[in-house]
Amino acid sequence: MAQLTYETVLIDYEHSYEFKNLKIIPVRKKAGSGGGSDIISLSKALQQGLVTISERGSASTENVHWLRINNLSDKSIFMASGELVTGGRQDRMFTKDTIVAPGSKDQYVPVMCVEEGRWSDKEKKFAYANYANPRLRKVLDQSKNQVLIWKEIYAQLDSNKIKSSTLAYNATRLDKKYMSLQEEYRQFFLDKIILRDSNVVGMICISGDKVIGSDIFDNEDLFYQQFEAMLFGYIEEAINFGAAPKLSDAKVKVYLDRFLENEKLQQEYLKKNGKLYKHNGRVIHLTSY
């Protein structure tokens, strides 16, 4: 089955995981509704040296919104909107879900700047930097507007009292106090989901009295490859803007019904409140805010 609705997935309210300001409800595939993945994540591809990322050119006005991707492997590589890379001439964020075919050379992928105050003469090596938090991802997916993205980054840096000479979104994550607390969250959820839970394809994330976002994939392989990177963004949201989870399962279900009841509702709801990525007729990734 190619779609991600209640027909193919199960929301496992009974086995949710909660730590401080973040609660994660696992999403599982129903029996017979999915298989393994023939796609690898950008983070895994970079870790294994299967992909290179570089600037398209040296002129900022012409090249700031593009990065060059070379797939050196025999596998398709998946990159999601909201994934970050630091370095280059300027830190960037991918603007849409994309699959780069095996062996593809010089593929130009759209990005947005997340470090307004730097365009270096010398290009640094790009490094993978996980997913942005749901607030920034939402601005990106709903607007694709560079000015609004910068505005949201300014607001977050100011709210967290973070000083950055280049107005880099990543500056928050380099703050020592934040890093220590983030690691507590990371270790808790990695232990629960990566080490002990083996058939998850997605997660519903709750902080305070609301669902702060969800990410669901069409198979376990791709979810587990993406999990830790996505977790960084959700942890950041919970630490900086969240509160102890208090949303009931009944209210979570009301939220999920809007896009999991059927395909028609899903497409309508996610046009404004998330995104749906299909490849060759198959739903690869569903995101909601």
pTM confidence score? 0.96
Question: Where in the chain are the domains?
Answer: 9-34+178-288, 40-174
φ, ψ at 277 (rounded to 5°): -115, 125
Contact 147, 165 (CB under 8 A): no
The C-alpha atoms of residue 204 and residue 214 are separated, in whole angstroms, by 4
- Return the pLDDT at 156: 97
- Tell me how crowded residue 162 is: count the other CB atoms within 10 A of its CB: 18
Exposure string over 118-154, b if 16+ CB within 10 A, otherwise e: bbeeeeeebebbbbbbbbbbbbbbeeeebeebbebbe
Residue-wise pLDDT for 38-49, tens only, equals 899 999 999 999
pLDDT band at residue 177 under the 50/70/90 scheme: confident
pLDDT over 70, % of the chain: 98
Residue-wise pLDDT for 141-158, tens only, equals 999 999 999 999 999 999
Of 289, 279, 229, give the one whose Cα is nearest residue 99.
279
- Return the pLDDT at 36: 61
The C-alpha atoms of residue 170 and residue 179 are separated, in whole angstroms, by 12
Nearest-10 crossing angle of helices 146-159, 220-241:
60
Of 42, 72, 9, 73, give the one whose Cα is nearest residue 203.
9
